[in-house]
Structure 1
Amino acid sequence: MKIAVYSAHEFEIPFLREANDDGHELHFVSEKLNIQTVGQAKNCDVVAVFSSDEASKEVIAKLAEFGVELITTRSAGFNHIDLKSAKEWGVRVVHVPEYSPQAIAEHCMALLLALSRKLIPSYERIRTYDFSLRGLTGSEINKKTIGVLGTGNIGCSLIKILNGFGCTLLAYDAEVNDKVAEMKNVNYVELNEVFAQADAISLNLPLNEGTKHIIDSAAIEKMKNGVILINAGRGALVDTQAVIDGIKSEKIGGFGMDVYEHEKGFFYEDHSEEVFKDDLFARLLTFKNVVVTAHQAFLTETALKEIAETTMKNISDFAKGRIPENKIEHHQ
């Protein structure tokens, strides 16, 4: 089959080629999929997209016109795909439901440690040959109470790590994960109890109507003074302006983010030579107690290998007339 791979990044292309055991024809497109670039999918059977692509109603209509039968997204989330339109046009949609949850859990831990021990200010100071320690007193994670919102595979992996640090864990999710419930030092509690008791909170929830802006000004007001927030889940779990206000009032003692609610259009790209126009994001970068990474929590060799292998298996299953096991149930 001929596949148009949109938003093809240098870091993932070798893994996709390595996983292409069935010899599909891969056409790598560096641009994002949108109505302007959809023409590059002509004569293709499959389109492979990334979370930054736009498989909108208009785009899917064009893909169907070109004869595209399958959209496979190289991500767990699929809110960048208009599933209703795909169903109407008879285009199947599949995804990568999970890939190395350990990678994202470890990144959450890295952000928490960087904030707790003030590693970024320390690094910046040393680059100017200032080896003084004023203002660098940090806090230990041991014996702290940590809230984990979302106890799927990623949240479960993070809880295992935090248990090793000797933390008390407060878990919150709409559904109890039996594996998590059986772990030591973990208690499932109501959301407001997490807010009231946690010294740090990690967001590992999916994004939906019930979780959008789950961290807003009202939630922040209920938290302990100096709380550390970590978001490596979905950008819109957090009301960014509310977090900025919380940092300014010192209610929030640190914010580590790998995702941003308005990241579409600039994450994964180099804008270093441009006038940066997102004032909200620019304001975040002015705080010394904010650590930002550009949606890279997934970016490990293990995760990239698993994403590529699952993506190519989805395509091969479809090519062989099998129903891909990773079809999106909301669509089929």
Structure 2
Amino acid sequence: MNVKFFSAQAYDKTFFDKANQHFGFELEYLEAPLNVQTARLAAGAEAVCAFVNDQLDSACLHALHRHGVKWIALRCAGFNQVDLDSAKALGIKVVRVPGYSPEAVAEHTLALILTLNRHTHRAYNRVRESNFQLNGLLGFNLHQKTVGVIGTGQIGLATARILKGFGCQVLGYDPYPSDAFLAIGGTYVRLDELYSRADIISLHCPLTPENHHLINGPAIADMKRGVMLVNTSRGGLVDTRAAILALKSGQIGYLALDVYEQESEFFFRDLSDEILTDDDLSRLMTFPNVLITGHQGFFTEEALTQIAEITLSNLRELNTTGACCHQVA
């Protein structure tokens, strides 16, 4: 089988080539993102492998179909970037990686919380300049704080477990409650109650048309003043401009983002010699109480190993049986 990878980075080649020793596929890596303009590059491939910021809309899928692509393997859990109805109509099967080391994203979530709270990123820079003052670095104990986890799937559950270890009270909201979340001592509440009670709110849900801009102006107004908001899930869950207004007013006291709703133009690229053209992203980076990382929550050796193995297993299952347990279209 010939598989063409889009939005490929050097680490993709490293981990997929290693995993492919057990599969024997023909893998080709392209740096270009997948969209309607680049779909022609898939010519000659039975399958394409896409990532979170590729744009598999109806036009792109029709172009892939014309070039003979039968299968789309997403090397990620989310599939909001794919027009599933068009894929089904064209007979293109879409598979994903539903679970890969949820602890990787959960641990990154805690890294963001601790860094932003205790200002370790600012302290590191101060000490390197021989400034050992503590002014401006005051944090708070996580112990006995109330944390709201929105989305209690595998990643949300892993995050909640760690927070319980810190002695936090963990509230959860999910349309599909989990017995495992209750078993670790979590408490499910209505979304409005979670907003009003939580000192920290962490997002761990997929992006759907129904929850786009879940965190908007009215939702933020219902939160505790000075709340810490953390998003390691999907950028479109947060209305960026509403968050900026809330940062300016002090309603949001801390904001940590590993994702951004317009990230496809910037993330996974080195733009250090260029001017950022996104006014909202540039504005966010001026706030001392905002911490942004470039969608690296998944970026551990364990997670990348699992992503590669599951992705290639999905393709082998499609090739062998015509179906896959991780199929979404």
Tell me the TM-score range normalised by the shorter chain: over 0.9
One-letter amino acid of the structure 1 residue matched with residue 129 of structure 2: T
Assess, with a 3 A threshold, how the Cα gap between structure 1 residues 89 and 317 changes in structure 2: closer, same or farther: same
| Residues in 2 aligned to 1:249 and 1:327: alpha-carbon distance in whole angstroms | 44
Task: Using the TM superposition, give the Cα deviation of residue 193 of structure 1 relative to its aligned residue in structure 2, in angstroms.
Answer: 1.0
Amino acid at match of 2:327: K
Q: 1: CA distance between counterparts of 2:326 and 2:28?
A: 22
Residue correspondence of structure 1 range 184-199 to structure 2 within 5 A: 184=185, 186-199=186-199
What residue is the counterpart of 1:6 in the other structure? 6
Paired residue secondary structure (1:12): helix
Give the aligned partner of residue 138 of structure 1. 139
Partner of 1:123: 124
Q: CA deviation at 1:322?
A: 4.2
For 2:37 and 2:207, locate their aligned partners in 1 and report how far apart those are by CA, in whole Å.
Answer: 27
Q: In 2, Cα distance between the equivalents of 1:237 and 1:35?
A: 25
| 1:244-263 mapped onto 2 (5 Å cutoff) | 244-263=244-263
Q: Which residue in 2 is equivalent to 1:166? A: 167
**Residue 320 in structure 1 maps to residue 300 in structure 2:** no
Q: Which structure is higher in helix share?
A: 2
Tell me the residue number matched to 1:84. Answer: 85
Q: CA deviation at 1:35?
A: 2.5
Distance in 1 of aligned mates of 2:48 and 2:254 = 40
Q: Find out whether 1:94 has 2:122 as its counterpart.
A: no
Gaps of 5+ in 1: none
Deviations 1:78-120 (A, max 9, x none): 1222222222221111111111111111111111111111122
Contact 1:171 1:188 in 2 (8 A): yes
- Distance in 2, matches of 1:217 and 1:87, equals 36
Amino acid paired to 1:249:
S
Deviation at 1:37, TM superposition (A): 2.0
CA separation in 1, counterparts of 2:266 and 2:183? 41
Q: Which runs of 5+ in 2 are unaligned?
A: none
Q: Which residue of 1 aligns with 2:152?
A: 151
SS in 1 for 2:219: helix
2:57 alignment partner in structure 1: 56
Number of positions where the alignment pairs a residue of Structure 1 with one of Structure 2: 328
Q: Whole-Å Cα distance in 1 between the matches of residues 166 and 228 of structure 2?
A: 16
* TM-score w.r.t. length of structure 2: 0.97
Q: Matched residue of 2:205: which SS?
A: coil
- The question of whether the paired residues in 1 share the 8 Å contact of 2:80 and 2:208 is answered with no
RMSD: 1.2
Provide runs of 4+ in structure 1 moved above 4 Å. Answer: none
Structure-1-length-normalised TM-score: 0.96
Any idea what SS the aligned residue of 1:228 has?
Answer: strand
Letter in 2 for 1:138: G
**Aligned equivalents of 1:168 and 1:224: distance in 2?**
16
Number of the residue aligned with 1:203: 203
Aligned residues of 1:121 and 1:288 also touching (Cα < 8 A)? no
Aligned to 1:69: 70
Identity of matched residues, %: 42
Give yes or no for contact 1:100–1:306 (8 Å, CA) kept in 2.
Answer: yes
Q: Tell me which amino acid in the other structure corresponds to 1:233.
A: S
